[in-house]
Chain A
Amino acid sequence: MHVAEPTAPDHTATGPGRVIVALYAVMALAATGRSSVQIAEYFSRAPLAYVLSAVAALIYLVATVAIIRGGWRAVRIATVSCAIELAGVLFIGVLSYAVPRLFPDKTVWSHFGSGYGYVPLVLPILGLWWLRRFRTARAPAAGPG
């Protein structure tokens, strides 16, 4: 019989990890779509915002792949991606309110990701929370437990 509680997750992409992978994949898709349209169609309108959308897309993609792969190295890469994302969404969030003329058009991270239901703000926090247990449990030098 299976147990519904996430007692001992053995892989980053199982249990709640699957939901996080799904969310990351959707964000990667959304950010890739948005940034490629913006850069191809009207780059000169807001170059900074559009480059940031592309950077966000890349980071979402890296996080998605790393969480799917698992393993201690992938966990490290995923953790760094989530940390960059959190820093990015906070910094760009503040900047977009403080200096709105830098952002004539929306990006994934501007206004703390309000255009995406604040998922860009919540997701890296969820990701970091989820990855924590693997970083402590799976570090090769730390041994079991």
Chain B
Amino acid sequence: MLAPLSTAVIVVSVGVLLVAAVYALLDRLVNDGLLAALALLEVALIVQAFVGVARIGQLPAERATFAAYLFSLPFITPFTTLLAIKEKTRWAMVTIGVGAFAVAVMTVRLDQIWGARG
């Protein structure tokens, strides 16, 4: 099933977004805890890509769009995390937040396509 996995992705990415907001307010930088959460999110996104591709046959339409979302998603957090690690101001947390927000929005879209199947 894709639904529990994508729900988990949305929950973790919103969690990362909230932690980034709190860290930005406290003027804290990327630490091990946040990195662990981001790693967890990345693992979930990669698993989601494999599971999604394996089950793509169940979709009656929009398969290409679905696949594009599946493959794009795992690239976002590593890139924004790399940018944020090198930043020593609170802009690091805004960068993390942009990545987490994009992942959440795209996963919601992915879920909508999946939910629309016959």
For B88, the closest partner residue in chain A by CB is A2
B83 A16 Cβ-Cβ under 8 A: no
Interface residues of A in 1-55 (CB under 8 A from B): 2-6, 13-16, 18-19, 21-23, 25-26, 29-30, 33-34, 36-37, 40-41
B63-75: contact bitstring with A at CB < 8 Å (1 yes, 0 no)? 0110111011001
Q: Is the interface of B mostly helix, strand, loop or mixed?
A: helix
A26 B98 Cβ-Cβ under 8 A: yes
Cβ distance B79 to chain A, nearest Cβ, rounded Å: 6
A23 B98 Cβ-Cβ under 8 A: yes
For B99, the closest partner residue in chain A by CB is A22
Given A18-B95, A19-B98, A26 contacting B89 (CB threshold 8 A): no
Interface residues of B in 77-92 (CB under 8 A from A): 79-80, 83-84, 86-92
Q: Which residues of A contact B99 (CB under 8 A)?
A: 22, 26
For A26, the closest partner residue in chain B by CB is B102
Q: Which residues of B contact A40 (CB under 8 A)?
A: 64
Bin the interface of chain B by size: 20 to 34
A34 B68 Cβ-Cβ under 8 A: yes
- B76 on the A face (CB < 8 A): yes
B91 A33 Cβ-Cβ under 8 A: no
State in angstroms the CA–CA spacing of A14 and B83 once bound together. 9
For A64, the closest partner residue in chain B by CB is B79
Cβ distance A69 to chain B, nearest Cβ, rounded Å: 14
Among the listed B67, B71, B98, which residue makes an inter-chain contact with A22, where contact means beta carbons less than 8 Å apart?
A: B98
**Cβ contacts A to B, 27 pairs, < 8 Å:** A2-B88, A2-B89, A4-B89, A5-B89, A6-B91, A14-B87, A15-B87, A15-B91, A16-B94, A18-B84, A18-B92, A22-B79, A22-B95, A22-B98, A22-B99, A25-B79, A26-B76, A26-B102, A30-B72, A33-B68, A33-B69, A33-B71, A33-B72, A36-B68, A37-B64, A37-B68, A41-B64
